[in-house]
A and B are shown apart, each in its own frame.
Chain A
Amino acid sequence: ETGVTQTPRHLVMGMTNKKSLKCEQHLGHNAMYWYKQSAKKPLELMFVYNFKEQTENNSVPSRFSPECPNSSHLFLHLHTLQPEDSALYLCASSQMSGGTQYFGPGTRLLVL
């Protein structure tokens, strides 16, 4: 099983839909992250979880709702998104918060 997996890899949703992104890490890490990657912009950190506790919310709109049931799984629940939310959403994990991060392949999201 590869280090960090994300599902789905591609998602198209309307502005009134509710969907969830899933991330799973098989590295035994204790910290997990959600990033947003838009064209021609640096990766934007969204959320950080350390030992299942949220330690960072980088002023993310409430239409994005993270969930971390255990150290191996991280979800991003999406509802009433806007077209400008279309981007590549990347999950990463590290041994501890602030450690070297390993990324998943991302979910390419298109909001219509």
Chain B
Amino acid sequence: TQLLEQSPQFLSIQEGENLTVYCNSSSVFSSLQWYRQEPGEGPVLLVTVVTGGEVKKLKRLTFQFGDARKDSSLHITAAQPGDTGLYLCAGLGGNTGKLIFGQGTTLQVKP
């Protein structure tokens, strides 16, 4: 069974701080996606990473896919209250074609 472990599960920081969220697995994924979900809404796709070692930037967010395509990280620079939400990583199983979700990281950025 493919599993994705996200850490930390909860993070509360002050505006302006930096943070990193990790997504780890013992399985290889053909791609990995990061979503952000606000209360009462569905997850919104932030990025898809496909190539091992790939780094993608989205304004203050930096996403990295591990060389072996088993793990990923999301780094946020100078966090803002608008970054508050649930961050989900999801790996696409190469054999199954199914998305496997991590349990999520709840981020709270206080002004």
Contacts and interface: CB of A to CB of B under 8 A. Distances in A.
A43 B88 contact: yes
A interface bracket (residues with beta carbon within 8 Å of B): 20 to 34
A43 B101 contact: yes
Given A90-B42, A106-B41, A100 B101 contact: no
Contact of A103 (B44, B48, B103, B104): B44
B40 interface: yes
A42 B102 contact: yes
Interface string A100-112: 1111111010000
B103 A42 contact: yes
Given A42-B104, A98-B92, A103 B42 contact: yes
Given A42-B102, A42-B104, A45-B99, A104 B33 contact: no
A104 B103 CA distance: 19
**Interface footprint category on B:** 20 to 34
A56 interface: yes
A97 interface: yes
B99 A101 contact: yes
Contacts of B100: 42
A103 B40 contact: no
B98 interface: yes
Contacts of A9: 40
A104 B98 contact: no
Contacts of A41: 103
B11 interface: no
Interface in A56-112: 56, 90, 92, 97-98, 100-106, 108
Interface of A: 4, 6, 9, 40-43, 45, 48, 56, 90, 92, 97-98, 100-106, 108
20 contacts: A40-B103, A41-B103, A42-B101, A42-B104, A43-B43, A43-B90, A90-B42, A92-B42, A97-B97, A100-B45, A100-B48, A101-B45, A101-B99, A102-B45, A103-B35, A103-B42, A103-B43, A103-B44, A105-B41, A108-B40
